[in-house]
Chain A
């Protein structure tokens, strides 16, 4: 689904800025989300990795 299909009717520059905004929002959400997961299970995973023979 391209920006043109998703944001039909919007001015080209507005469409471009909205696409950049959506990608940035996704990036921040994923960074924070994966960060929370890493904080919750990261140390356990690393300890398991260290204990694996």
Chain B
């Protein structure tokens, strides 16, 4: 009787499963808050492994991405790190790109090569973005020796030229009208913004993922905002994409509100801690964590593809352990690094107060 009541209160989930999803959501939330991505490409495979049907896994993942993106966007909004105009301009391209990407998938399915092409594209894309970020972080370490500057946003950050990558500055120098003024005062061509939106949408529609791991680097490296603004604006994009996905799957009635609620309870706390950590943790560390995790994720997805190709379920489990294990390790590293940064930052004023 009591057990049934608890299960009803927890929207159909038992207390243990609910707790497991809360813990998993916390980890995802830290990623979302810290990197501006990390939802669907972790949640969907996890739900599939746990035995949920694909539409429930994808639909619940989309609804969760929407909820977490809403929470993380509110947090970044408070820090002035969301460029709503840029997000809205990108959304048109994203929507068109998603449509084009999904049509491409159906076309490849007719040819019978969809799974192989998508799997290889996923591995290559994750590896390329991971390598780009890792190299960029290592180069920065060499340039400034890791000075400990952070990405703390006060509403106007991102205007410093040194925060915008060289490749983005070069793209911004080609002034193809109409030029749009971004929230931080920098300018970008509407063609660049639409191109980035369309490209990100194409990848999202083609790979069936939220696309944050492409959207955030694309805003940072191609449009050219500060990393903090790229994270905040990418989250806003995730909110809009998540809403579209949640509506689509919600119409089919396959979104599991118990799973979404449990994940949100954990992720809301994690996202708060993750986005607060960006104010303390060195920006170069953010970049290298992001890069390394994507490289491991690339290997994990590659092993997963091999598993189905070689019909070896053990490789599937290895892929899952690598994906979740690397994410857990990076999550713990963020929390540890954040705690150290907090101690370093706050200890000085405390010591000064002590001397007085």
Contacts and interface: CB of A to CB of B under 8 A. Distances in A.
Contacts of A15: 250-251, 253
Contact of A34 (B12, B260, B272): B272
B346 A3 contact: no
B253 A2 contact: yes
Interface string A7-28: 1000011011101101110111
B346 A46 contact: yes
Interface string B229-259: 0000000000000010011111111111110
B67 interface: yes
B164 interface: no
Contact of B257 (A12, A22, A24): A22
Interface residues of A, number: 31
B342 A23 contact: no
B255 A12 contact: no
Interface in B295-321: none
Nearest to B250: A16
A26 B250 contact: no
B200 to A, nearest CB: 22
A43 to B, nearest CB: 10
A50 B247 contact: no
Indicate the member of A13, A38, A50, A51 with the most B CB atoms within 10 Å: A50
B343 A31 contact: no
Contacts of B255: 2-3, 19
A5 B252 CA distance: 11
B85 interface: no
Nearest to B13: A1
Interface of B: 11-12, 56, 63-64, 66-68, 70-71, 74-75, 243, 246-258, 260-261, 264-265, 268-269, 272, 339, 342-343, 346-347, 350
Interface of A: 1-7, 12-13, 15-17, 19-20, 22-24, 26-28, 30-31, 34-35, 38, 46-47, 49-52
